[in-house]
Structure 1
């Protein structure tokens, strides 16, 4: 009888634990002094942008600041592993479908957010901004302090949004969170019928207490002005924005660098334009299509100042690393032009 009771107790205890189970998760923690690394095993109960909570024993639960976490290893479901593999192999539609199945099978909320972060990247690679924004908003609804906030898939090009994106943005604008309204307003700021409303919303968000929101809202307001005024900006305005971008959270600067690069291009300051645009493929490449376009544009600017060899290098990388993007064909066309010039003796 005692053995039976013990067996029942153990079974109940096991069922009460998270699905990963004690001892299956591993983290590497920076010591408080910063002088060493501390490995720990256990069961991660939660992992947000602020802290990680881990059970290291039946009665031992510890909480650590997220900034001290250097690495995390956790068991993954088969669809999760397959989605990662498909993404790495550029089978983006397969990866997207697998993230849906992976979320359905995963019980741990913090791991679900990891899968959704992967879905944001996959959707952007597919050019599906609606799916990317939906996945991102699911992440920040679950964890407003998310470590994945840098993935926020705001639009940065200066073209009007398609109708389906406008319809989705209207819903996001009615959302209760500032982040949801930021996403919606950033789409609608270039919509002919919705721009005034979007501008008013961004004006409000530009004084938010959340520095992530107010920096991005201000950049989107500038994007709206660029679109209205024909993408023109004085050197004084650009110098001001270069100062501003240095004050932004480092992980959120990519879109603003794109706007700075575009503006310097309009002023025919090719070197400054290329320098700004190259931040995207070098650092801020979660939106692969935008990063590829930025790298191709940088190649155009470098070619314009006689740096054809550097332009060839950039075009070759776009065609390889970003072969799945529209910019790859533009890079190929530019590369052919440069080679024709070289073969005819028209370039150094």
Structure 2
């Protein structure tokens, strides 16, 4: 009997060790110039904000790492979260949003809860519910004013009057003078509404008073208000480095504006290339990626490359069916474009 107890105790130790190992968090730092592999810390992440990651290492040491140095965090993600991520990867955004909500309710760690809020905001944006996406993003900012998940923030990058719900939400956001994130969102959507002058005034203030990344995004929103005649080749060249100062995850909208400026400047090939960067760089904002593919196709038509244009239109129809209006236009252009079938 004693021997049996010893065997059971040994098995429990082994299983307990395996469970403990699975529960460890791994924090990968950005590659340094003189290192071949990223530095890794293993232990328990206590909190992770846009400023700092705090963790307890396996040795029990408490450390703080600047968020800018963190490349990736791996954890023993719960099954509900993995299921939600799988649904999002399959582009089943309605089901994914519900699954992320369930994962959020079951998750005790505040830093993981923030990740889940960002995922819910992305799902809502891909479903065309920018008003709900914006509210989720502001809940994220309330928890972490320096959130690293700027890509979850819905912004308008093309002309188009917001629907009733989004219009109402955008006005409310613009009135939040204590929240640069809310004002930036509201102003971006109201540039195409009756409140355009108030939106411009807010953006002009944000580009000088907001935190650096928000100030840059406000500046780029103001590009939408400039007369086309002022967007010369030299001006476009000056703006590309500005776009590249942004985190890669939020460059797509400004790149759409660069592509538009190149198209107006009579540079269809450069415009098409700029548009095509967007679906490559951005796996989050699928309506924006679909719009970029459509605009790239139009530039290819101007270049006399209908077969290549049709390939892009077919990609929209096949891979972006939720982008209804864009998919319909792509279908119409498929029929109108000359050349052989792609």
Which stretch of structure 1 is more off in the superposition, 121-130 or 272-281? 272-281
Residue aligning to 1:261: 259
Residue aligning to 1:233: 229
Task: Give ranges in structure 1 of 5+ residues lacking alignment.
Answer: 1-19
Residue aligning to 2:193: 191
- In the alignment, the residues of structure 2 paired with residue 309 and residue 317 of structure 1 have an alpha-carbon distance, to the nearest angstrom, of 13
Residue 37 to residue 341, structure 1, CA distance change in 2 (3 Å): closer
RMSD over aligned Cα, in angstroms?
Answer: 2.6
Task: Give ranges in structure 2 of 5+ residues lacking alignment.
Answer: 1-19
Tell me how far 1:204 sits from its aligned partner.
0.7
- In the alignment, the residues of structure 1 paired with residue 210 and residue 142 of structure 2 have an alpha-carbon distance, to the nearest angstrom, of 18
Are 2:42 and 2:58, in contact at CA under 8 Å, matched by a contact in 1? no
- In the alignment, the residues of structure 2 paired with residue 121 and residue 210 of structure 1 have an alpha-carbon distance, to the nearest angstrom, of 22
Residue 258 to residue 38, structure 1, CA distance change in 2 (3 Å): closer
2:287 corresponds to 1:292: no
1:43 counterpart SS class: strand
Residue aligning to 2:241: 246
Residue aligning to 2:27: 27
Are 2:97 and 2:120, in contact at CA under 8 Å, matched by a contact in 1? yes
2:145 corresponds to 1:144: yes
Are 2:23 and 2:75, in contact at CA under 8 Å, matched by a contact in 1? no
Residue aligning to 1:279: 277
Residue 71 to residue 196, structure 1, CA distance change in 2 (3 Å): closer
2:121 counterpart SS class: helix
Residue 255 to residue 275, structure 1, CA distance change in 2 (3 Å): same
1:37 counterpart SS class: coil
Are 1:93 and 1:126, in contact at CA under 8 Å, matched by a contact in 2? yes
The superposition leaves residues 16-41 of structure 1 with CA deviations (integer Å, 9 ceiling, x where unpaired) of: xxxx9995322234576534334332
2:53 corresponds to 1:52: yes
Residue 41 to residue 58, structure 1, CA distance change in 2 (3 Å): closer
Residue aligning to 2:216: 215
2:318 corresponds to 1:320: yes
Tell me how far 1:304 sits from its aligned partner.
1.5
Residue aligning to 2:173: 172
Are 2:307 and 2:340, in contact at CA under 8 Å, matched by a contact in 1? no
- In the alignment, the residues of structure 2 paired with residue 253 and residue 37 of structure 1 have an alpha-carbon distance, to the nearest angstrom, of 25
Are 1:25 and 1:44, in contact at CA under 8 Å, matched by a contact in 2? yes
Residue aligning to 1:330: 329
Tell me how far 1:129 sits from its aligned partner.
0.7
Q: Number of aligned pairs?
A: 317
TM value normalised by structure 1: 0.82
2:43 counterpart SS class: strand
- In the alignment, the residues of structure 1 paired with residue 102 and residue 109 of structure 2 have an alpha-carbon distance, to the nearest angstrom, of 14
Tell me how far 1:330 sits from its aligned partner.
2.6
Are 2:306 and 2:339, in contact at CA under 8 Å, matched by a contact in 1? no
Residue aligning to 1:119: 120
2:208 counterpart SS class: coil
TM value normalised by structure 2: 0.83
Residue aligning to 2:15: none
Which stretch of structure 1 is more off in the superposition, 303-312 or 323-332? 323-332
